[in-house]
């Protein structure tokens, strides 16, 4: 069952994740559902998508991962002849 809004998410997800992470969860879950995945697989896709940008601390509070500046500032080098 796709979610129309983040306030339709189960309460434990709303409590655990910041709003942006909830938006990621909903978008990933709905995309997986529209691709024909079952609910369990869609949940796995959604959590994996959240894990790409967020991580839980020791208390279980989710925070955005720090950006890796090396990823965003790589120079592209051509092989050249």
Task: Read off the pTM.
Answer: 0.79
Q: Which helix (H) or strand (E) holds 53?
A: helix 39-53
Domain locations in the chain as residue ranges: 18-55
34-59 pLDDT, tens per residue? 999 999 999 999 999 999 999 999 98
pLDDT at 76 over 60: no
Q: Please, which residues bridge with residue 63 across strands?
A: 55
pLDDT at 32 over 90: yes
In angstroms, the first-to-last Cα distance of the chain is: 54
- Shortest CA distance to 50 belongs to which of 22, 77, 71? 22
């Amino acid at each position: 069952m796709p979610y129309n809004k983040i306030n339709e998410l189960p309460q434990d997800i709303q409590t655990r994740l910041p709003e942006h992470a909830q938006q990621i969860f909903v978008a990933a879950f709905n995309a997986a559902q529209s691709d024909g995945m079952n609910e369990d697989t869609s949940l796995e896709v959604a959590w994996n998508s959240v894990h790409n940008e967020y991580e839980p601390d020791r208390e279980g509070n989710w925070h955005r991962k720090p950006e890796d500046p090396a990823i965003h500032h790589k120079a592209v080098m051509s092989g050249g002849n």
